[in-house]
Each structure stands twice: as C-alpha cells, then as structure tokens.
Amino acid sequence: MLLRAFVLAAKKTADEQGTPATPTTVLEDIVLGKFTTELSDGKTLISTDEAGGTATFALMGTFTAIEVVALAMEAITWLRQQPDPDDPEIYPSRRIRRLRVSFDKAVI
C-alpha cells in the first residue's frame, strides 16, 4: 500500500507540473536527486524548486533519503509493469469470490 501511495503522490505531482511530466519522470527525478527530503511533524516532505515552479508531497513516517530513493526505485519498477505507466491503476478493482456451500445427500 505504501508503494501505491507513493505512486499516487508522484502521479498527482506530475499532473500539477503539466504535460511533459509523468509519474515515472517524477520518480526518476527523486532518484537523480532533483528533489530534497526533510522530516517535519512525523512526515517526510519531498520537494523541489525547478523550472520556475515548486512541487511538494508528503509521506507518512520518517524515511531517510536512502529509503526514499529505494522506494522510488521500487515504484519505477512497479510502474513499468503496468499496462499504462502514465496512468496506472492505483485502486485495483477487487473481485469477490463467493463460496457456495452444498451438501450431498447421504445415502443410508
């Protein structure tokens, strides 16, 4: 779930940045060090001030910079496995399988 939340934050950041940005490029920028990480009130804030704009998103918990980069690499791998990496299915539809119980009639 943390991975999907991280991808969702990257997707929202990419949507705010405009057309050339995709969730994968946002995550690659985190890996390349274009974003900074800081701890604030039990949250890890990831932010950047590039291209005349700012982008910030938060992760619950206190992650070190190395953990954020490792999470970004896992998210990139997950995104590349999706049918549409630019618009991944963050909320998968669950299939509910219902069990049907039946009792065979016993022959006495």
pLDDT tens sequence for the chain (108 residues): 678 888 888 888 888 877 778 888 888 888 887 778 888 887 888 887 766 667 777 777 777 778 888 888 999 998 988 888 888 877 766 666 676 666 666 555
First to last CA, the chain: 53
- Threshold 0.85, pTM exceeds: no
